[in-house]
Amino acid sequence: MPKSYHVAIVGATGAVGIELLRVMERRNFPVADLRLLASARSAGNKSEFRGEDFSVAALNHDSFAGIDLAFFSAGAGTARQFAPIAQRTGAVVIDNSSAFRMDADVPLIIPEINPEDIRRHLGMIANPNCTTAVALMALYPLHGAFGLRRVFASSYQAVSGSGARAIEELRRQVEASVDGGPALAHVYPHPIAFNVLPHVDSFLENGYTKEEMKMQNEGRKIMHLPDFRASATCVRVPVYRAHSVALSAEFERPVSVESARAVLANAPGLDLVDEPLSNRYPTPLAAAGKDNCQVGRLRIDCALENGLALWVTGDQLLKGAALNAVQIAELL
């Protein structure tokens, strides 16, 4: 690989794509050349990178000539269609969608957890689900100390996780309700403003949603923990940015709040914010725009053996998407 990379971003006009540009700027990622790609609707739009304007081009079969590194953040369908083309053209693909995450020959990476898995990549690396990534940032260090068995999780997921249209939908619905107008829903099946929806992603036969099963399936793969079990309820909330997850985790060995705090205070990519008596605990507003996830509300879980209850919040456009993707590229 050259020292400076020819980079393509597929989905450059989306919520994550825009964030990728900012993260690469901030981290001084060595970009020799940048190709911004999106649907034909956005062709000709401009985006700024390091003070220079770059035009967005419509994605097609020839988009990847000369590209070393292709970030995909345009959904699973686009990834399935175009990521193999990018790969065949010689680019290494880092895909943010769920399309390839569980494929045996595609490493699924959180650099703080399983960086060594990247060695066996064959030109395609997957970025994990955003809620799973935020939860694992706290669960994995605890696993190292106490041996993780299973978790019960409830998520509180921001609308930006559903993309730019969902951000706009929440904004419009808030305005409509202030003006006394109807809160029309397009992206979600019900209004999201002043509401919570126990529905993220599509429903499976077992009654869970796809999003809910990702915590168990991706968690097993990332942590190399085949017996890990996770029962999640994923909930969309009227928050613009940053996901939160309430976790009840059961461990093999006894756990104390003090020892768990010590472990989490030293964990990479994580800030311990746990002074409940001073009203200090993680919130989406505080975590939005921050690279590190935040963890707090630690207490002994009174319903589990060797159980710990905790609350993790993280900017899912960053650690759950763009930041993690750029960290993967840095690992390469």
Q: Residues interacting with ligand A2P, by CB under 6 A?
A: 11-15, 17, 38-39, 41-42, 59, 74-75, 78, 163-165
- Active-site residue among 130, 143, 234, 293? 130
Query: Nearest to ligand A2P by Cβ — which residue?
Result: 14
Q: Order the strands of the 46-49 sheet from edge to edge.
A: 46-49, 52-58, 31-38, 5-10, 69-72, 92-95, 124-126
H-run or E-run covering 284: helix 284-287
φ/ψ region of 294 (left if φ > 0, alpha if ψ in -120 to 50, else beta) reads: beta
Which residue in the list 6, 121, 143, 243 is annotated as catalytic?
243
Cα separation, 145 vs 263, in Å, equals 7
For residues 118 and 110, is the Cβ–Cβ distance under 8 A? no
Q: How far is the CB of 261 from ligand A2P (least distance, A)?
A: 36
CB of 71 to ligand A2P, least distance (A): 11
Residue closer to ligand A2P, measured from CB, 23 or 309? 23
If the CB atoms of residues 13 and 292 are measured against ligand A2P, the closer one turns out to be 13
To the query of whether residue 293 is one of the catalytic residues in this protein, the response is no
Give whichever of 59 and 288 is closer to ligand A2P, judged by the CB atom.
Answer: 59
CB of 186 vs ligand A2P, minimal distance in Å: 13
Q: How far is the CB of 130 from ligand A2P (least distance, A)?
A: 11
Nearer to ligand A2P, 39 or 195 (CB): 39
Find the shortest distance in angstroms from Cβ 41 to ligand A2P: 4
Residue in 41, 51, 219, 203 with CA at minimum distance from that of residue 128: 219
Q: Select 58 or 204, whichever has its Cβ closest to ligand A2P.
A: 58
Burial class (CB in 10 A: 0-12, 13-18, 19+), 332: middle
Give all strands of the β-sheet with 243-251 in edge-to-edge order: 229-236, 148-157, 243-251, 307-314, 293-300, 270-272
Distance CA 291, CA 295 (A): 13
6 is catalytic: no
- Do the strands 31-38 and 5-10 form a parallel or antiparallel pair, or are they unpaired? parallel
Question: Which residues participate in catalysis according to the annotation?
Answer: 130, 243
